[in-house]
């Protein structure tokens, strides 16, 4: 009678090192963490300062205060009117838009990748062991809420329309006629990049035609999908560029409103 | 110019082993697999390596080179400095059979669990017609050579073996997306993608896309579109309300997962 023995249990290669990567894998999440932290600290400081957000001569309103709906807003800066008399200091003037803009970026598929890697280190880089003992991903509250990204997208579209209106206002000079300054161009570049980021969103890609299985029956939606897909392929670049121009636009308007320097005018 | 490369190769079986140092000749134009074959022929005749096509099309020679999941046949030695020590280990997510050969049967088991293509039974053989734009998304996923580098690098199972049961891995979530987007497939796979194959575990950190030797945009073109479809099916209150008041058509039935106990 032939004797058989059970095959020994197979296990993974027992390698104790967290990673055997020799390239500087820590650089990218490190840079991401620093840049996001700088941006968040800067934005938090300025939205609560409550000053230097409006340049009345040239109709420049910083995106961090748009729409300014508090009764405490500087006259002329409330493009949507005054909704409430006054606000406690812990509530920013643009409380109508900021939670949605923040929610849009926080639930964005690109930023999720960025902050999961940079802050949560799940994982910090590919093939680098993560430090957590347990992992459930986006299967439970609160991360299950990332599935609401599509609603933040629609809110971001409304905010984008508002920022576009603000840029249109910035094309007015001191006398109310057409005018153009460096601030106008910065605001214009910002809103273009914000639209590039917003319309390249994965939810937008899904809504336009990604959810369809028969592109050939919906040629217009398919064409829009191809345009959105072009933007989507550059979503990371638009995400960072628009984050940078939001900060630059705000800082520029802050400095001009504070009188640090005058806005160089190209016309009127 | 030929030079002598320093290698550390993981040798062992059943998970137990260590990194063994070797010095092997390297000639111009060679890839890592060439050097491993020279090592096998000249110094370590019992070194186990799985390989087949040497052209990046069979997906057999998956391993980790300096900690990065790669195909040995597609990794040129010229991408490393001549004085660099190369550390070569088996795929870390799968059990070791011997040396650099791993048991990837986990993937075959997951593949069997996916409900197969389900065409409309009323459409006869040879009657179905579709246009290129309708299948081009699925065709991208068909480029997969099943090297399982994406499965290996995915931290959901790489760092948490306990997730091997609820999570199918990017390769098979991509397969579900391929069928879900197929114009002739009538099954609704959104529920099972989330409930049975663990799409929610994916946190879209894109390592699967980074390591794919076929450059398939797994995350952007398969996993995220699938997440959006699942969100529409399970988590969108407006879609839910629309289905309740019959303003949206009812979706097709959800196929059963083979072998799933109910």
Nearest CB among B16, B155, B203 relative to A112 is that of B203
The interface residues of chain A toward chain B in range 226-255, judged by CB-CB distance below 8 A, are 232-233
Give the residue extent of every domain in chain A: 27-131+138-267
**B32-75 tens-digit pLDDT:** 999 999 999 999 999 999 999 999 999 999 999 999 999 999 99
**A91-143 tens-digit pLDDT:** 888 888 999 999 999 999 999 999 999 999 999 999 999 999 999 999 999 99
Nearest CB among B89, B95, B225 relative to A15 is that of B89
Min Cα distance B96 → chain A (Å) is 5
**B84-113 tens-digit pLDDT:** 999 999 999 999 999 999 999 999 999 999
Reported as type and span, the H/E element at residue A44 is helix A27-49
Helix H, strand E, coil C: the string for B134-158 is HHHHHHHHCCCCCCCHHHHHCHHHH
The pair of three-digit structure tokens given for residue A193, joined into one six-digit string: 């990049």
DSSP symbol at B76 = B
d(CA B199, CA B253): 19
Give the residue extent of every domain in chain B: 3-102, 105-244
Check the CA dihedral A44-A50-A56-A59 and report its sign: positive
Say if CB B162 and CB B93 are below 8 A apart.
Answer: no
Task: Tell me which chain B residues have a C-beta less than 8 angstroms from the C-beta of A233.
Answer: 220
The bridge status of strand B16-26 relative to strand B62-65 is unpaired
d(CA A185, CA B188): 49
ipTM: 0.92
Given CB atoms, is A221 within the 8 Å cutoff of chain B? no
The pair of three-digit structure tokens given for residue B153, joined into one six-digit string: 């690098």
Task: Tell me which chain B residues have a C-beta less than 8 angstroms from the C-beta of A122.
Answer: 155, 203, 205
DSSP symbol at B19 = E
Min Cα distance A150 → chain B (Å) is 8
What class does CATH assign to B3-102?
alpha beta
**A189-236 tens-digit pLDDT:** 999 999 999 999 999 999 999 999 999 999 999 999 999 999 999 999
d(CA B149, CA B232): 30
- Topology of domain B105-244 in CATH is Fumarate Reductase Iron-sulfur Protein; Chain B, domain 2 (1.10.1060)
Nearest CB among B92, B228, B232 relative to A15 is that of B92
């Amino acid at each position: 009678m032939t004797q058989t023995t059970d095959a020994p249990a197979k296990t993974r290669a027992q390698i104790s090192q967290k990673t055997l990567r020799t390239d500087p894998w820590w650089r990218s999440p490190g840079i991401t963490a620093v840049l996001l932290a700088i941006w968040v600290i800067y934005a938090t400081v300025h939205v609560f300062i409550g000053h230097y957000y409006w340049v009345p001569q040239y109709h420049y309103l910083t995106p961090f205060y748009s729409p300014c709906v508090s009764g405490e807003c500087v006259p002329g800066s409330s493009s949507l009117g005054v909704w409430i008399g006054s606000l406690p200091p812990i509530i920013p003037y643009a409380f109508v838009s900021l939670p949605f803009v923040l929610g849009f970026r926080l639930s964005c598929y690109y930023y999720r990748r960025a902050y999961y890697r940079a802050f949560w280190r799940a994982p910090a880089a590919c093939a680098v062991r993560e430090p957590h003992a347990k992992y459930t991903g986006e299967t439970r509250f609160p991360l299950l809420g990332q599935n609401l990204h599509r609603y933040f997208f629609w809110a971001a579209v409304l905010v984008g329309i508002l920022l576009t209106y603000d840029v249109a206002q910035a094309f007015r000079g001191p006398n109310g006629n057409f005018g153009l300054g460096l601030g106008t161009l910065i605001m214009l570049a910002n809103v273009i990049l914000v639209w590039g980021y917003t319309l390249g969103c994965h939810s937008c890609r899904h809504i336009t035609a990604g959810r369809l299985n028969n592109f050939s029956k919906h040629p217009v939606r398919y064409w829009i999908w191809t345009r959105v897909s072009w933007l989507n392929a550059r979503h990371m670049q638009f995400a960072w560029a628009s984050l940078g121009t939001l900060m630059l636009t705000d800082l520029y308007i802050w400095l001009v409103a504070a009188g640090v320097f005058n806005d160089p005018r190209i016309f009127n | 110019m030929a030079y002598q490369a320093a290698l550390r190769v993981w040798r062992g079986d059943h998970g137990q082993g260590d990194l063994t140092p070797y010095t092997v000749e390297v000639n111009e134009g060679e890839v890592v697999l060439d050097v491993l074959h020279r090592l096998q022929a000249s110094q370590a005749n019992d070194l186990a390596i799985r390989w087949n096509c040497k052209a990046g099309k069979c997906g057999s020679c998956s391993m980790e080179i300096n900690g990065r999941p790669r195909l040995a046949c597609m990794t040129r030695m010229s991408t490393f400095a001549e004085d660099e020590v190369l550390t070569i280990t088996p795929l870390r997510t799968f059990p070791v059979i011997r040396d650099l050969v791993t048991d990837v049967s986990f993937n075959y088991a997951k593949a069997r669990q996916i409900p197969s293509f389900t065409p409309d039974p009323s459409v006869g053989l040879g009657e179905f017609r579709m246009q290129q734009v309708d299948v081009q998304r699925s065709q991208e996923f068909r480029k997969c050579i099943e090297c399982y580098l994406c499965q290996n690098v995915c931290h959901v199972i790489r760092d948490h073996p306990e997730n091997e049961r609820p999570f199918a891995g990017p390769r098979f979530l991509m397969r579900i997306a391929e069928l879900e987007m197929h114009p002739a497939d009538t099954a609704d796979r959104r529920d099972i993608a989330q409930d049975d194959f663990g799409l929610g575990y994916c946190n879209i950190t894109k390592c699967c896309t980074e390591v794919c030797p076929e450059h398939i945009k797994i995350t952007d073109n398969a996993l995220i579109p699938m997440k959006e479809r699942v969100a529409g099916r399970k988590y969108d209150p407006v879609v839910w309300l629309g289905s309740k008041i019959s303003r949206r058509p009812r979706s097709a039935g959800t196929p059963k997962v083979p072998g799933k106990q109910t």
